[in-house]
Amino acid sequence: MKKLKLKELFKKAWEIADSIGRDSAVNVVESEVDELEKIFSLLLLGELVGYPGSPSHVYIQMLPVSEKLLITLGNAVTEAEDPLGKLFSVFDID
C-alpha cells in the first residue's frame, strides 16, 4: 500500500517538474525566435540605421514579410529602454 502511494507521489512530482521545465523551455525558445527576428530585420533593413544595405533583389523578394519586420523593429525600440528587464523576465530571475 505504501509503495503504491509513494509511487503515485513521485509520479505526480515528476509531472509537475516536467510541466515547469517545458514551460521554461517554451519561454526561452520564444525569446530566441524574437531575437532572431530582430537580427533578420536588421540584416534586411540595416540601411535605415547605417549598416550596408542589402541587395535590392533580396529586399524585393522579402517585401511580403517586411511589414512584420517593421513591427518587430518598432517593438525592439520600445523594449530598448530596459533590455536587462526583458532578459530577466525570460529567465524568471527575481
What tens digit of pLDDT does each residue of 48-79 get? 777 777 777 777 777 777 777 777 777 777 76
pLDDT the model gives residue 56: 75
- Number of separate domains in the chain: 1
The parent domain of residue 41 ranges over 2-91
Residue 90 has pLDDT above 70, yes or no: no
Closest CA to 71 of 41, 28, 30: 41
Find, among 79, 71, 64, 68, the residue nearest to 31 by Cα: 79
Give the pLDDT confidence score for residue 8 in this predicted structure.
Answer: 86
